[in-house]
């Protein structure tokens, strides 16, 4: 689940610039040297090395708490594995290590949220969140799972849990082992004539009579 280190738009810009430079040169002439050195880890990724170019900032204790949390959000069932089984904590660590403003903001939310939930667990039960009984963990999450209903003193925890849940779902369902639970079958042949869009989907979208 490693994000790409260079955007397609940046590649197109470099290719277009190189093509334009070559088109303006007289026949047999050598192109001028580049105005700047493009060799850096963001514009020239090493595709032989699958690791991202940035450090993963979360500590082992932080990852341990996140592992418990993501497995409570996305536990194993008959069709899909638990979140930790497909490396979701490592995905979160790589995500919040990316050198972009949004990702850096997410790092602050996750790091602060882990500290908050462990403090909350200590206040209620005298243990860190990972050491609580399952019903105690669930009770804490139930109190912060809906920001609109959370008590004012739990607002910070509710914001953290909303962000963690969103990132967890995004990472989890990008893994092929979870697609079955979404009903996604992939690029497979359909025997016989194309059956069309299922009636329940048409009704859900409010497109009766239009498809």
Distance CA 206, CA 211 (A): 10
Residue 197 is classified by DSSP as S
Confidence (pLDDT) at 22: 46
Q: Judging by beta carbons within 10 Å of its beta carbon (0-12, 13-18, 19+), is residue 94 exposed, middle or buried?
A: buried
Tell me what pLDDT residue 28 has. 56
Residues 6+ apart with CB under 8 A from 192: none
Arithmetic mean of pLDDT over the chain: 82
* 87-103 confidence digits (pLDDT tens): 999 999 999 999 999 99
Mean pLDDT, residues 55-60 taken together: 95
Answer yes or no: is pLDDT of 68 > 90: yes
Smallest CA-to-CA distance from 164 within 121, 107, 81, 205 is with 107
Nearest to residue 70, comparing CAs of 54, 94, 57, 87?
87
What pLDDT was estimated at residue 123? Answer: 97
Q: Which two tokens stand for residue 125?
A: 């039960």
Question: How far is Cα 68 from Cα 140, in angstroms, rounded to an integer?
Answer: 13
20 pLDDT higher than 50: no
Tell whether the model's pLDDT for residue 35 goes beyond 70. Answer: no
pTM (predicted TM-score): 0.66
Least confident of 25-39, 129-143, 179-193: 25-39
What is the domain partition of the chain in residue ranges?
63-179
Q: Which of 92-96, 115-119, 145-149, 189-193 has the lowest mean pLDDT?
A: 189-193
């Amino acid at each position: 689940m490693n994000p790409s280190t260079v955007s397609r738009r940046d590649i197109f810009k470099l290719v277009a610039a190189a093509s334009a430079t070559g088109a303006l040169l007289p026949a047999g002439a050598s192109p001028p040297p580049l105005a700047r050195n493009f060799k850096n880890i963001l514009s020239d990724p090493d595709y032989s090395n699958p690791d991202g170019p940035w450090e993963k900032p979360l500590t082992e204790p932080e990852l341990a708490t996140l592992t418990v949390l993501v497995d409570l959000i996305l536990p194993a069932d008959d069709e899909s594995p638990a979140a930790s089984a497909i490396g979701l904590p490592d995905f979160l660590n790589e995500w919040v290590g990316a050198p972009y403003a949004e990702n850096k903001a997410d790092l602050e939310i996750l790091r602060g949220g882990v500290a908050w939930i462990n403090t909350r667990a200590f206040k209620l039960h005298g243990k860190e969140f990972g050491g609580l009984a399952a019903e105690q963990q669930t009770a804490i999450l139930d109190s912060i799972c809906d920001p609109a209903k959370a008590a004012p003193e739990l607002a910070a925890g509710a914001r953290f849990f909303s962000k963690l849940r969103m990132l967890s779902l995004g990472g989890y369902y990008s893994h092929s082992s979870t697609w079955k639970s979404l009903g996604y079958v992939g690029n497979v042949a359909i025997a016989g004539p194309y059956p069309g869009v299922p009636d329940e989907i048409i009704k859900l979208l409010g497109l009766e009579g239009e498809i």
